[in-house]
């Protein structure tokens, strides 16, 4: 399929074309820039909802139920799940198969798992690009689900229009750390598994923490209690997401946030481009292998190895 044809098919909302386009950006294919440049003017119509929280918080079920609700309202839903990946095999862990069982073969739902692939792979960058593709393809709601609270996850969640943080009652001794870490990210908080013991205490703790940290934009993040497995509270979650979206429209903070996100995206892309250019140069790979062996053997330190690599001048020059 030619690039131009692929672009047309994506803009027409063809899910197979969307899948192919996402693979291209995930692989960092050379022509993915052409594709993304052409699609970018068509983005900005869908609502991007980021959902994050600890493993075991029931995010996947919550995402499925929220997606089902949006479907009932006649909207097309894209789901991008950021999987922790195996560092050795490089593949996504769960993949799409399990998710597909719940949401079935509904053509109005597109599900994709993202995982890091190799050294060039900016997982955060690839995820944001996948969201842009779904947006351009006319999906009205795009849900980005991330496992864990790592650096990449935080970056990804920051790029969403509305960020939802999922907690569960009585999570143990890391709860304070997690809460603090995601405090400033959450536009909406969910206490899932709200039929469990300790929900009141978790709610009180959360309220106390939220009251301490006043947001620059003046928004007070609502707390929604859900039991995702029984679809309880999912309508309320959708309403809370919508209310932040409405609030956001009237603030200046929105442009500042978009500019910060744009700066981050440019830096991520720049980082990848510069490294790719350096590694594309003739002989670069062999030199890198040789230096790595020297470092492994303790014949050289990694810092001077980098300097040697740069000094060897195999860095590619701008192609323009």
Q: How far is the CB of 159 from its own copies (least distance, A)?
A: 11
Write down the residue that tokens 């929280």 correspond to: 53
Does 154 bind its own copies (CB under 8 A)? Our answer is yes
Q: CA quadruple 107, 18, 46, 260: dihedral positive or negative?
A: positive
Number of residues near its own copies (by CB under 8 A): 91
Among 7, 99, 116, 202, binds its own copies (CB under 8 A): 116
Q: Which residues contact 159 (CB under 8 A, 6 or more apart)?
A: 48, 50, 128, 131, 261, 264, 265
Residue 19 CB neighbour total at 10 angstroms: 15
Nearest CB to its own copies, comparing residues 108 and 152 = 152
Nearest residue to 133 via CA among 122, 144, 145: 144
CA-CA distance, 303 to 310, in Å (whole number)?
Answer: 11
CA-CA distance, 48 to 132, in Å (whole number)?
Answer: 9
Nearest CB to its own copies, comparing residues 239 and 267 = 267
Q: How far is the CB of 95 from its own copies (least distance, A)?
A: 10
Q: How far is the CB of 140 from its own copies (least distance, A)?
A: 19
Q: Which two tokens stand for residue 49?
A: 């909802």
Nearest CB to its own copies, comparing residues 19 and 279 = 279
Burial class (CB in 10 A: 0-12, 13-18, 19+), 295: middle
Nearest CB to its own copies, comparing residues 108 and 205 = 205
Among 153, 187, 194, 240, binds its own copies (CB under 8 A): 153
Nearest CB to its own copies, comparing residues 97 and 107 = 97
CA-CA distance, 153 to 115, in Å (whole number)?
Answer: 12
Q: How far is the CB of 168 from its own copies (least distance, A)?
A: 8
Residue 189 phi, psi dihedral angles, 5° rounding: -110, 140
Residues 66-105 touching its own copies, rule: CB under 8 A, are: 83-89, 93-94
Instruction: Write each residue from 260 to 279 as x if it is in contact with its own copies (CB under 8 A), else as -, in one continuous string.
Output: xxxxxxxx-xxx-xxx--x-
Nearest CB to its own copies, comparing residues 5 and 37 = 37
Q: How far is the CB of 308 from its own copies (least distance, A)?
A: 10
Residue 106 CB neighbour total at 10 angstroms: 14
Nearest CB to its own copies, comparing residues 173 and 197 = 173
Residues 119-138 touching its own copies, rule: CB under 8 A, are: 119, 123
Residues 18-37 touching its own copies, rule: CB under 8 A, are: 33, 36-37
Among 109, 182, 188, 240, binds its own copies (CB under 8 A): 182
CA-CA distance, 225 to 234, in Å (whole number)?
Answer: 9
Q: Which residues contact 281 (CB under 8 A, 6 or more apart)?
A: 314, 315, 316
Does 286 bind its own copies (CB under 8 A)? Our answer is no
Nearest CB to its own copies, comparing residues 40 and 242 = 40
Does 11 bind its own copies (CB under 8 A)? Our answer is no
Does 259 bind its own copies (CB under 8 A)? Our answer is yes
Residue 8 phi, psi dihedral angles, 5° rounding: -60, -45
Does 292 bind its own copies (CB under 8 A)? Our answer is yes
Residues 184-213 touching its own copies, rule: CB under 8 A, are: 184-185
Write down the residue that tokens 């469990």 correspond to: 196
């Amino acid at each position: 399929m030619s690039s131009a044809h692929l672009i047309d098919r994506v803009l027409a909302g063809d899910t197979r074309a969307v899948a192919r386009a996402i693979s291209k950006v995930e692989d960092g294919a050379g022509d993915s820039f052409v594709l993304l440049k052409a699609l970018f003017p068509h983005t900005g119509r869908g609502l991007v909802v980021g959902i994050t929280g600890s493993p075991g918080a029931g995010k996947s079920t919550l995402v499925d139920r929220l997606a089902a609700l949006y479907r009932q309202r006649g909207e097309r839903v894209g789901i991008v799940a950021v999987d922790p990946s195996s560092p050795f095999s490089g593949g996504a862990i769960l993949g799409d198969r399990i998710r597909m069982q719940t949401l079935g073969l509904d053509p109005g739902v597109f599900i994709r798992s993202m995982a890091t692939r190799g050294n060039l792979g900016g997982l955060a960058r690839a995820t944001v690009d996948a969201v842009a593709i779904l947006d351009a393809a006319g999906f009205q709601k795009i849900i980005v689900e991330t496992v864990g609270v790592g650096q990449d996850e935080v970056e990804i969640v920051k790029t969403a229009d509305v960020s939802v943080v999922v907690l569960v009652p009585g999570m143990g001794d890391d709860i304070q750390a997690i809460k603090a870490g995601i405090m400033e990210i959450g536009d909406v908080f969910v206490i899932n598994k709200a039929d469990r013991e300790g929900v009141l205490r978790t709610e009180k703790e959360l309220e106390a923490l939220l009251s301490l940290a006043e947001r620059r934009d003046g928004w007070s993040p609502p707390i929604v209690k859900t039991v995702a497995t029984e679809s309880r509270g999912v309508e309320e979650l959708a309403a809370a997401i919508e209310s932040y979206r409405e609030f956001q429209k009237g603030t200046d903070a929105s442009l500042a946030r978009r500019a910060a996100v744009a700066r981050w995206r440019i830096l991520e892309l720049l980082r990848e481009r510069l490294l790719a250019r350096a590694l594309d140069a003739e002989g670069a790979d062999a030199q890198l292998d040789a230096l790595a062996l020297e470092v492994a053997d303790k014949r050289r330190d990694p810092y001077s190895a980098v300097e040697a690599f740069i000094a060897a001048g195999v860095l590619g020059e701008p192609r323009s």
